[in-house]
Structure 1
Amino acid sequence: MKKHYRSEKNCLNCGTTVHDKFCPSCGQENLELHEDFLHLALHSVGHYFHFESKLFNSIVPLFTKPGYLTKEYFAGKRASHLNPVSMYIFISILFFFLFTANTNINKREIIDDNTAAAKPATEKENIRKAVSLAKNKLNEDVTAGEISEKTAAYTYTMLDKTEAALDTSQARPNKAVSYKKPAANAEQTHAAGEEAEETGVIHSLKAKFKEVATNDLSSELFKNKLVSHLPKIMFILLPLFALILKLVHWRSPKLYVEHLIYSIHIHSFMFLFISLLIILSWIMPFLSDWLSLLGSIIILWYIYRSMRNIYGNSRWRTISKFFLLFFAYSFLLFVCSFAVVVVTLYTV
């Protein structure tokens, strides 16, 4: 359908004189303001398919030609491809959505399984109450002098082991009995002194680690919540990845922004590829482990191949720089992950 262009030659967006159909300054099309619904709909659909065409022209070479989009971008051929930042935002939104959905599915399954397993706990609770009553009675007998402390200590140990055997997945402090136990030996006294000297932060971290390590539900929820933070870690590491590239290729004349654009394309590929693997794991859950292994190999190969295409080094020189990049990036990933682990411990 024919478009209706304005007869006036002033751009309604920036005021520049328009000699043809588009403003030479801002690029706005000099169309009539009062279009009917059909013209408006066709204009919007045209913009949509224009975006779809650029998306297709970007996604296909992103998958099939490592480093191609980066070379095209700095060669000035940008009109037919999506802007790297726009493409990264689009792909990362999809990735975050799928990754979070996958984590929440696992989290619900874990909670349901543990809830089902926790139902037949009435008998255990009755035994715990009986053990607690026995400990209180034992404490009263020791106080009254009816039972010696040695005999009481042995009986108390047996009761404590019985209580601990009911639920080995949860460490609970013992507060039921308050009688004075036999004096600790020198080694125990020394250990107690060292524990008393620990700072509050270290003691708190140890307690959190112990809680997560000894409770199956907390452990699984911790793992899944930690996994859900992975996309955020990768988002933070994107500019750091470009900085490492700059340092690894310190003799290269490329500017930091060129390394950054390459980093954006690499992460866009990883996000999109991992999103595809998540969908495949939903369809074929029995192949999830093999998909993870295959995905890791493909991502490593993709980075190596794109480095050869972008920086033009020989095979062995590229491999050596690839390993430098891998170890430096892994170290940063470890530091960021450790910080996230500490935060996650206090939010489970």
Structure 2
Amino acid sequence: MKDTGRFLKEYRGSECLNCGVPLDVIDRYCHNCGQINTSKRLSLNDFFSEFFASIFSYDSRLRHTIIALLFKPGKISKEYTQGKRVKYANPFRFYLSVSIIFFIINGLFIDFDGFRTEVEGKVNVGKDAITEIKKSIKMDDSLKQKLNDQILATNGISESDKKEISEGISKIEGLPLLNDSLTKPKEVTYYSQEQIDSIGFFKRGFKLWSMYEDYYDKTEEKSTYRALSELKHERNQFNKYIYHRVLKTKSIEENYGQEFFEFIFNKLPFIIFFFLPFFALSIWLIYIRRPFNYMEHLVFIFHTQTMFFIIIGFSILIAKITNINALFGIAMLVFLFYLYKAMRKFYNQGRIKTIVKFMLVNVLFFILAGIGSVLTIIGSVFIF
């Protein structure tokens, strides 16, 4: 390779300017820290030349990584764990890059506003139904009066018929109780700061929540500081946190969960990233008799999960263009077949053992995914 720019021998020094290790004139890079052996001052041309060189270098690794992932299931994981790593992209960084791109592109096709409108429409239908029930309950008062008048005006009616009519009226009389339960406001006790301080920590949170929620329903006060001042409560972190949570909960209700689900969706790449090490632990237990350590299982997990995002991402993109909804199901089947082939290649076991462990891995994945989803929703409620 011909030396140009800062690589020319005339600019090479006798020691590394970064770590001070002695160097020879033939050394293009420091063998200790990897820095270029040059004393030439940085110019604009050198800066952009090295910038594009690093891009092309990564692009070469990217090309090898994608080809191996797409057409040779399990090969990249096997070679990477065997030490052949220079021509492949780092599996952890590559996974993060692909997952973030996947969720950004997929986010363009998710209509959160349409989802909210649909939910809002269903809720309004339910509210209209409740309103009609209330109206019908109110009309029952006139119906009872008519029945009573009919009993008094009727001559020659048998005692058994009178009894049945009376039972019918008594049933109608029970209906206004439903109306009372729908309209009667919930009574909430308001506590002073001194009373709150005397309550246990966990119980205190529930008391404050019901109090602040009732206060917001009556005043719609969105300022935490003004609300605490009106209630004569201290502006400590605990009180502010509880009132802020009430505001966020009301926001979820008012927006029918749109902002909440958008918040979770935007955090999914990192949530899944931290979830995968636990999944790798379960696979390590399944293959505990095989000569693989935990990190080698984790490399395999990151590679297969990256391929999952690539397959599903392309299927969603094509489905949006062609309006063929069956593509997602086909993509899932393709990925499951890919996972089976990757497990056979990486763990080097027979068909029967691989099929059994393949099924077990998928069962564990759905169990852990369910647990992870619940923990994610619960955690998001506290930090949203």
TM range (shorter): 0.5 to 0.7
Of 111, 114, 130, which aligns to 2:116? 111
Match of 2:182, as an amino acid? N
- Matched with 2:218 is none
Choose 1 or 2 for highest CA Rg.
Answer: 2
For 1:270 and 1:299, locate their aligned partners in 2 and report how far apart those are by CA, in whole Å: 6
Match of 2:300, as an amino acid? Y
1:300 offset after TM fit, Å? 0.9
Of 352, 361, 366, which aligns to 1:330? 366
- Matched with 1:174 is 182
Unaligned runs of 5+ in 2: 145-165, 186-205, 211-252
Match of 1:154, as an amino acid? I
For 1:254 and 1:220, locate their aligned partners in 2 and report how far apart those are by CA, in whole Å: 44
1:304 offset after TM fit, Å? 0.7
For 1:156 and 1:279, locate their aligned partners in 2 and report how far apart those are by CA, in whole Å: 57
CA distances 1:150-175 after superposition (whole Å, capped 9, x unpaired): 74862784997xx9xxxxxxxx9512
> Is the CA contact 2:21–2:30 (under 8 Å) kept in the aligned structure 1?
yes
For 1:232 and 1:137, locate their aligned partners in 2 and report how far apart those are by CA, in whole Å: 62
- Matched with 1:268 is 306
- Matched with 2:191 is none
Unaligned runs of 5+ in 1: 140-147, 164-171, 178-199, 205-214
Q: Please report the RMSD computed on the Cα atoms of aligned residues, expressed in angstroms.
A: 4.4
For 1:95 and 1:31, locate their aligned partners in 2 and report how far apart those are by CA, in whole Å: 41
Q: Higher relative contact order by CA 8 Å / sep ≥ 6: 1 or 2? A: 1
CA distances 1:101-148 after superposition (whole Å, capped 9, x unpaired): 44xx32112234566899999x99997997797689999xxxxxxxx9
Q: How has the CA–CA distance of structure 1 residues 266 and 38 changed in structure 2, closer, same or farther, with 3 Å as cutoff?
A: same
> Is the CA contact 1:84–1:264 (under 8 Å) kept in the aligned structure 2?
yes
1:44 offset after TM fit, Å? 1.1
> Is the CA contact 1:92–1:271 (under 8 Å) kept in the aligned structure 2?
yes
SS in 1 for 2:338: helix
CA distances 1:174-208 after superposition (whole Å, capped 9, x unpaired): 1269xxxxxxxxxxxxxxxxxxxxxx9xxx9xxxx
Match of 2:295, as an amino acid? V
The answer on 1:287 being equivalent to 2:294 is: no
Of 154, 159, 176, which aligns to 2:172? 154
For 1:132 and 1:239, locate their aligned partners in 2 and report how far apart those are by CA, in whole Å: 58
Of 3, 6, 31, which aligns to 1:4? 6
- Matched with 1:85 is 92
For 2:382 and 2:20, locate their aligned partners in 1 and report how far apart those are by CA, in whole Å: 56
> Is the CA contact 1:304–1:319 (under 8 Å) kept in the aligned structure 2?
yes
- Matched with 2:38 is 31
1:305 offset after TM fit, Å? 0.4
TM-score by length of 1: 0.67
The answer on 1:43 being equivalent to 2:59 is: no
1:231 offset after TM fit, Å? 4.5
Match of 2:297, as an amino acid? H
Of 70, 74, 87, which aligns to 1:63? 70
- Matched with 2:154 is none
Q: How has the CA–CA distance of structure 1 residues 127 and 255 changed in structure 2, closer, same or farther, with 3 Å as cutoff?
A: closer
Q: How has the CA–CA distance of structure 1 residues 115 and 299 changed in structure 2, closer, same or farther, with 3 Å as cutoff?
A: same
TM-score by length of 2: 0.62
For 2:37 and 2:289, locate their aligned partners in 1 and report how far apart those are by CA, in whole Å: 48
